[in-house]
Amino acid sequence: MKKVGLISDTHIPARARKIPLKVFEAFRDVELILHAGDLTV
């Protein structure tokens, strides 16, 4: 079974300059990351 991570509403750089390190740590063992919208670059 694959481990999937889901993230959305990041609004980079409106809310933050970059995705917080905690997100990368949470997705460390994830095989697939899905972004559900609002990337805003």
pLDDT of residue 31: 97
Other CB atoms within 10 Å distance of the CB of residue 39? 13
pLDDT of residue 3: 96
Residue 32, SS3 per DSSP: strand
Averages of pLDDT over runs of 10 residues in the chain (41 residues) are 91 81 95 84 60
Other CB atoms within 10 Å distance of the CB of residue 22? 8
Integer CA distances (angstroms), 35 to 15, 21, in order: 16, 16
- What is the reported pTM? 0.67
List Cβ<8 Å contacts ≥24 apart for 21-29: 29/3
